[in-house]
Structure 1
Amino acid sequence: MDPELTALAQSAGLTLVALLATDAWEHTRDGVVALWRRTRPERADAVAAELDGTREDLTTAPDAEDELAAAWQDRIRRLLLDRPEVAVELRKLLDALAPGPATTPALTQRATASGDSRIYQAGHDLHITER
């Protein structure tokens, strides 16, 4: 798969699940279902039910967010493999759903520590005062 489409699927899965846990979940759900209805109408009702299930899972097990995002990344990746032209519409949807400016870059952080190491990560300002 094209690396750009892979990155888009990853970003979409993370954004989707993050937004389902907010007050914007209905708008998010409606936008995603509309996308599926236009591109794969036979799956739109199932996608709506899966989104509702994901939201329910998030409210009962918020620590499952990464797992749920991975599942949506896979669904979106399969849609993009089947219909690569959907990428343009998906980007527009993500821009419309984005809580901040569309120019805000995606942020992914991973770290591994061993021994007495410390890791400090932040998506914005980070102030550390150790004494």
Structure 2
Amino acid sequence: MDPIVSATGTALVSAMAADSWQQVRTATTALWRRLHPEQADEIAAELGTLHAGILNAREQQDHDIEEALTGVWRLRLQHLHVDEPSGVGELRRLLEEHLAPALPPDEQRGVQSIVMKAEARDHARVYMAGRDQHITGS
């Protein structure tokens, strides 16, 4: 799964439990309206259901339900990404401009940055990528 899709799904579910959930729903629905307008009304309704479900899960301290909801929305976003590969920039924008700011500061750090560190010694090679990587030659 694309890291942006995964981070966006996680942030979406958490942001739907925040006070600004209506703005998050509006921004997410607008994304669908741009990429798949025929699904936008359905998504808006499902986000309302998500809001109720995540609040209930957190009230009951049911981490399994919260993880399941996160998985469902990661898959929805993955399907959106597969159907519209050029939409990854839109997902990143949704994450950075609407979802991450709606999260508490400790959760924002988890979805905004990816830190990769590597150390090579002697004749070792390190290949790192935040996404696709193609290596040719020796």
Q: Do the structures match in fold with TM over 0.5?
A: yes
Alignment of 1:1-131 (within 5 A): 6-62=2-58, 63=62, 64-97=65-98, 98-99=100-101, 104-105=112-113
**1:106 Cα deviation after fit:** 5.3
The structure showing larger relative contact order (alpha-carbon pairs under 8 Å, at least 6 residues apart) is: 2
Is the CA contact 1:11–1:106 (under 8 Å) kept in the aligned structure 2? no
**In structure 2, C-alpha distance between the alignment counterparts of 1:20 and 1:106, rounded to whole Å:** 23
**1:87 Cα deviation after fit:** 0.6
Is the CA contact 1:21–1:59 (under 8 Å) kept in the aligned structure 2? yes
Runs of 4+ in 1 over 6 A off after TM superposition: none
Q: Percent of aligned pairs with the same residue?
A: 35
Q: Give the structure-1-normalised TM-score.
A: 0.72
Is the CA contact 2:5–2:91 (under 8 Å) kept in the aligned structure 1? no
**In structure 2, C-alpha distance between the alignment counterparts of 1:61 and 1:13, rounded to whole Å:** 17
**In structure 2, C-alpha distance between the alignment counterparts of 1:43 and 1:88, rounded to whole Å:** 19
**In structure 1, C-alpha distance between the alignment counterparts of 2:54 and 2:94, rounded to whole Å:** 22
Name structure 2 gaps, 5 residues minimum: 116-138
For residues 33-74 of structure 1, what are the alpha-carbon distances to aligned partners after superposition, in whole Å with 9 as ceiling and x for unaligned?
000001000100110111000111112222221110100000
**In structure 2, C-alpha distance between the alignment counterparts of 1:32 and 1:87, rounded to whole Å:** 13
Measured at CA, do residues 46 and 23 of structure 1 come closer, stay the same or move farther in structure 2, by a change above 3 Å?
Answer: same
**RMSD value over aligned CA atoms?**
2.1
* Counterpart residue number, 2:135: none
More helix by share: 2
